[in-house]
Chains A and B, each alone.
Chain A
Amino acid sequence: MTHDILTHERLTRRAFLKGAGSLVVTFTFLPQRSSAADAAAPGKSVATNAVDGFIEIHPDNTVTIYSGKVDLGTGVRTAITQIASEELDMPLTAVSVIQGDTLTTPDQGVTFGSLSIQVGGMQIRQACATARAVLVQRAAERFKVPASVIKTHEGQCWNGSERVPYATLIETEGLILKVDPKALLKAPADYVIVGRSVARLDIPGKVTGRFEYMQDFRLPGMLHARVIRPAGVHAELLSVDDSAARKLPGFVATVREGNFLAVVSRTEWGAIQASQAIRPVWSDWQGLPEQDKLWAYVRNTAVSKSEDLQKVGDPAAVLQQSPKALRATYDFAIHTHGSIGPSCAVAEWKDGKLTCWSASQQTHLLRKQLAQMMKVPDADVRCIYIDGSGCYGRNGHEDAAADAVLIAKVVNQPVRVQWMRADEHGWDPKGPPTLLDFAGAVDETGHIAAWSSQAYIPQRPAQVSVTLLTADLANMPHEDAHPGNVHQALAIGYQVPNLKTTVHSLSHTPFRASWIRAPGRMQNTFGNESFMDELAHAAGGDPVAFRLSHLNDARGRECLERVARLAQWQPRTTPASTEGDVVRGRGVSYIKYELVRTYVAVVADVEVHRKTGKIRVTHFYVAHDCGQIINPDGLKNQLEGNIIQTISRTLLEEIKFDRSHITSLDWKSYPILTFPEVPTIAMDLIDRPNEKPWGAGEPTASVVPSAIGNAVYDALGVRLRSVPFTPQKVMQAMRTTI
């Protein structure tokens, strides 16, 4: 793929030329207004139904967009800029975005679920359309012509002979309006910015060391803190000897609150040294299950609630009558988020009011949680987002924020908390262990006669939030941990006459759980699409044709057919030859995400070394339909990332623990995929400009483990039902199968 660079001047000239969608367009953006330094207009609306909640037009005819969704490294800032610029008919260079500031940005919900464009972007698009319609109306009145005569272009309204900038049109009346859900959206055929590969505006700063990450943020008079976590997950702090720490230059304080322990220093290195010099005594706590009996532990955990997500016909009766009914159990290990930069936050208390800077994906929710923890009104807390290291769900950012808030309160000075690597691996909330039971049968026509699935997953409290670790350790008010909507994607979209999909919500899970990229969807789809492959083979069918024969959805069928074409898929019904030490195979997987949105079909090519059990994913092919594509290159970047990251999770990743604590505390004990192991990736992006833009990113992650497992089966004739697919498990499976 080649990327041609277009300067802003060329972009402007080319703006009305169509069909340049594959080009990456770069130009100089406005310096982004830093929310940290921004003195927000007092009384600015943060309502999600107010135009002025989202949009502020300045006297210089530039625009600030206030977005509750934040850029977690996925390019959302650029995409939102494109959407707003397009819908307002403003030059891209005149639009800047402020994200995730509870004082100024509307609460658009947590930045998760690949919903930033699908939900957040569409709210902003509607607000922009409302604004544009009102500006046109005002211009019509000013020029004394019908509104239909007025055109908008480059931030101005014109009547064919005269122009008036938007800024002039809001001088007297402002832009205090409700969002009109019926305001007419621009026709996609008229798009000049959406649908183009606009270059990400953060990358020049990121490749030159000029971009400000959360970890770079500093306040005057700020102190540095490090946390010291319990030796066992629920160990009690019995005593602390900080005499050696106190002798270190710059030492300020030891902060102890229940089982919460931290040290504060005037310098960062001083805080690290103090955290190593302090001598806490913890109670002996050994309440974790034995790792090698984890799945028995999960299976024996009390079920608080069972619910059927789908119930059609009578699968149990059909299965009982089928002599060749298949039964299989799948499991998926505990994962950490593994952000390259450990969590970091800064907090400052001033006159009883709190400001907290963090890379939280959920500043509005964090504000509520911090207010609850500190027993202050929500209104006295302001949470401000600053981009951090990549965030793939609810990781440690919010906990680091709570750490900083508590410590800053105690020492009464601004405090920066930076987690160390072991804090992140050991104490960020985890993707919970998932166990899945399947049963199925095929009939004599080669179709599925019955399908039954049962997922054993953590229960979901009413409130979608994750316990603040700080509050838990310090015995301060907090809510329970929510694992994310991990029941999603257990239900299947295939046509099956007898079908039951059941979720068993478990009363307990070993580690504080949270959502990690494609939460539940990845695990459930691993089971679904692997078991689909098992049934295809039982029916003697080609895995692609077998899926198509159970699929009525036209867009889904097209997606599968296109990935088969892209990969030059040849029908296959039996595993490939098992001659030689290195065997090759390919596997397919498909999803319509949550049965209501983005379609993804993938093919994985693998090599398996029969003597070592090592799997290498060599090629990946993806066909992707998320409706309207906002930024094709940005979309490709996300799909590549989701595929590579999930190959890592599938082949390598598993949190290890003893009876007290996690023992995977660095990158050696929790390895991730490295450059030599990364496959080539080919993509077919299906663009539907006239459809809604759906989420992209995690839908693709969800199909990766099953595609790899199915490819290994194709290569070896061995079915892998336990993620990660370690060489030991491959060797074990070969011994069992042969």
Chain B
Amino acid sequence: MSQTYTLKVNGATHTVTADDPKMPLLYALRNDLALRGPRFGCGLGQCGACTVHLEGVAVRSCSVPISDAAGKSITTLEGLGSPEHLHPIQQAFVDEQAAQCGYCINGMIMQAKALLDHNQHPSEQDIRDALALNLCRCGTHARIIRAVQRAAAALA
């Protein structure tokens, strides 16, 4: 019944066994690969806390079956940078102190990266629109907008 899948995550190849081909990618990343960046928030694709990049596109890993992700290139928050070597977007979030509980921040950074990959000079409205489907409950929005602006300036 169980099946083996090859996951290419942050440049490394892993083999993961799952009992169900419909198991969302999120559970493989968190439980099998022990990654903490993608987070469980709703399991419904409504909040964005679980966002990862699949072939460079921001997706909700709670709603992507592992069988669909197998063999494809996956990037998580850990793949962007580390505390010692922050990615410019992560650095911008530190510089703006753009987190409270930080539970949603994975989704904010991964969604912002998807925006900045395609739009190097986003307006404030572009940033607000790009993050419109990412929920934050602590009310850190204003800082997150500033962080993405700062990151855009750093990357441009």
Chain A interface residues toward B at CB < 8 A: 1, 3, 5, 24, 26, 72-75, 199-200, 202-213, 215-216, 248-250, 267-270, 273, 338-342, 387-392, 418, 420-421, 633-634, 637-638, 640-645, 648, 666-668, 672-676, 678, 680-681
Contacts and interface: CB of A to CB of B under 8 A. Distances in A.
B94 A207 contact: yes
Contact of A205 (B1, B83, B97): B83
A672 B101 contact: no
Given A26-B94, A644-B142, A667 B44 contact: yes
Nearest to B108: A207
B90 interface: yes
Contacts of A674: 131-133, 135
A23 to B, nearest CB: 11
A418 B43 CA distance: 12
Nearest to A341: B103
Interface string B27-49: 10011000111111111101101
B86 A340 contact: no
Contact of B100 (A3, A74, A673, A675): A74
Contacts of A680: 142
B44 A73 contact: no
Nearest to B127: A675
Contacts of B31: 267-268
Question: Which label, helix, strand, loop or mixed, suits the secondary structure of the A interface?
Answer: loop
B56 interface: no
A129 to B, nearest CB: 29
B135 A667 contact: yes
Given A249-B1, A420-B43, A208 B97 contact: no
A640 B139 contact: yes
Contacts of A212: 36
Contacts of B94: 26, 199, 203-204, 207
Nearest to A75: B100
A31 to B, nearest CB: 11
B36 A640 contact: no
**Most chain-B Cβ atoms within 10 A of its Cβ — which of A3, A207, A634, A675?**
A207
A268 B29 CA distance: 12
B18 to A, nearest CB: 7
Contacts of B105: 206-207
Given A210-B83, A267-B31, A389 B101 contact: yes
A575 B80 CA distance: 52
A208 B105 CA distance: 9
A200 B82 contact: no
A391 B86 CA distance: 27
B19 A249 contact: yes
B136 interface: yes
A388 B104 CA distance: 11
19 contacts: A207-B77, A209-B38, A209-B106, A249-B19, A269-B27, A338-B137, A340-B41, A342-B42, A389-B101, A390-B100, A637-B100, A640-B143, A641-B138, A644-B142, A645-B139, A666-B46, A667-B42, A674-B132, A676-B128
